[in-house]
Structure 1
């Protein structure tokens, strides 16, 4: 199977996802069956993982339907030497923090001309199998290239594993003799100047609250000018206040607030989000850390030194490398996790 056939398979999948999300009539019996199965699995995923709301699952499917456009795929792959079928077996150990979080790795392995062996998280094991089944109907050659495993991984040539800092140490040891990408905990941060209007700052709520803040691209900390009052920030993100209606989110909010108050930490609180001054990057659910800065250039240098802990830096155009407010959960195909070029790694195996 050449690269053109692989690309075609994925953009046809993207087209079907668009029709599913737009509630359009299926173009074939096979697609109609896919729509029915996907709807069923979306509902199942909600019950398997209470953090996976239907809104968030459909949001994830929407992002992938847009990413899997023909031009997007072709432009992305045009910067690489055209991959030939290597038939190496690449194991992927997927996280389960947000819906379809391992799909980009899955896409990279297959488009690089390799086979994939998938180890899913129990928190996110409903959606990918039905998508894979439909992809194999679009292109039957994929049937020999995709496998799922519930047991210990065996017989593979390389591995991509995503987990916590603790599991990463295990992965590093266990997979040390194989070519590998091992991902650890990362968080995203936002830089505020205090000059943003409410309209400019409102999209930041998407970066903070989408997927309940569980993704590595979610903003878990903000930097604000020294002495800056944060009322304007609270007003800007207030539209997200219905998030407190989620029982799991509300339980985390109540628990973390109680812990902070009992520990006599100074906090700011608007009824659904707790702001705590803290130098750490990883804030608990329903909490957001903040830190003050005096010199913007000095802050940029500090964040450069911490790049191994940071996935995204968000701002209102302070630097060309920064992501605009509201865009962290809309990565492009060339936005690689941990800034490690997955496709380059696979093509060089």
Structure 2
């Protein structure tokens, strides 16, 4: 995964697969954009690098140390989202490493990358063929379920899977708290938190908390290295559409020609737009975070998750703050 993520040529048989198998994986990575216009080569490589970084022996051992292996394996359904490449990989890892069988319902937006990687995994651990089931259709027989989707999907999950032990995830997003002392380098890193995967992930920053009187000049200078995002046709179309809608409605916007900023306390922002509002003191910040805690995935800032790290979770950084491994250990 790291070699693919770095875009390297075949490094040799030490990788554990043949050159033809590696080249086939490369082709799968490169053609993702044909299936999903958001899955550019760079986005897929970013995901592969991040996830491949988890698969180090020491990291895995430290992560798994507090947990136990399920002696009575269950069939755990995983209904995967498709907003960013391989977004369901962590759930698959949790289910397999807890001793259970993963029954994966893949998103139609991300249905070829995971099967290609799992096929390569079987070279090293052929026994996992019995414990990983990948499907684009009905999920089949299960004992428990992990489902990730929109708030509307949550109603569907409750209706069809509420009778099983479950983890249901709804829409979440992330915020950044600035105090005005951020360096240009830190703001550039914040741009990574905003624009990685074109802002489609729940760990992407979509709202800024700013001190009163904040000077946006420094912010726009800091995020400028990410201006190429506007050249992606789907992102550019969203930018143009949202700009037109807000201008026609005579709503004020800040615009630097590749992202729109709108002042509002609304947490979730449309694609190619970032919301912001001003705070007076720390109490304002705490109040806003408390008010939206059920809809927040990451808080970025000097005293929170470091700038540039929102899309770099560790193995123990569970989605929605729910310890998936502990939950799996409770299945009997």
Kept after mapping to 2: 8 A contact 1:44/1:126: no
Q: How many pairs are equivalent?
A: 328
State the Cα distance separating 1:200 from its structure 2 match: 2.3
Q: Which residue of 2 aligns with 1:153?
A: 139
CA deviation vs aligned residue, 1:38-93 (integer Å, no higher than 9, x gap): 1121122111011011011001100111111111111111122x314432100000
Q: Secondary structure at the match of 1:288?
A: strand
Work out the CA distance in 2 between the residues paired with 1:250 and 1:145. 42
Deviation larger for 210-219 or 275-284: 275-284
- Please say if 1:200 is aligned against 2:182: no
Q: Supply the distance in 2 between the matched residues of 1:323 and 1:28 (Cα, whole angstroms).
A: 34
Gaps in structure 1 of 5+ consecutive residues: 1-16
Superposition deviation, residue 298 in structure 1: 3.0
Moved more, 144-153 or 267-276: 144-153
Deviation larger for 36-45 or 322-331: 36-45
Q: Following TM superposition, by how much is the alpha carbon of 1:123 offset from its aligned partner in structure 2, in angstroms? A: 0.6
| Structure 2: gaps of 5 or more residues | none
Q: How far apart, in 2, do the equivalents of 1:215 and 1:244 lie? A: 18
User: Could you tell me which residue of structure 2 aligns to residue 98 of structure 1?
Assistant: 84
Structure 1 residue 33 displacement after superposition: 4.0
Encode CA deviations 1:148-207: one digit per residue, 9 max, x unaligned.
222222210000000000011110121111000000000000001111121222200000
Calculate the aligned-residue CA RMSD, in Å: 1.4
1:154 and 1:315 map into 2 onto residues whose CA distance is 43
- Give the alignment of 1:142-221 within 5 angstroms: 142-221=128-207
Q: Which runs of 4+ in 1 moved over 4 A?
A: none
CA contact (8 A) 2:111 2:136 kept: no
Corresponding position: 1:47 with 2:31: no
Q: Which residue of 1 aligns with 2:2?
A: 18
**1:104/1:198 CA distance change after superposition, 3 Å:** same
Greater shift after overlay, 130-139 or 146-155? Answer: 146-155
1:141 aligns with 2:127: yes
Partner of 1:326: 308
**Counterpart check, 1:89 vs 2:71:** no
Query: Following the alignment from structure 1 to structure 2, what is the Cα–Cα distance between the partners of residues 28 and 114?
Result: 27
Q: Deviations over 1:267-286 (max 9, x none)?
A: 10001010001221111111
Compute the displacement of 1:37 (Å). 2.1
Deviates more, 1:178-187 or 1:142-151: 142-151
CA distance in 2, matches of 1:92, 1:257: 37
Larger displacement relative to structure 2 (298-307 or 162-171): 298-307
Which of 336, 341, 344 lines up with 2:318 in the alignment?
336
TM-score (norm: length of structure 1): 0.91
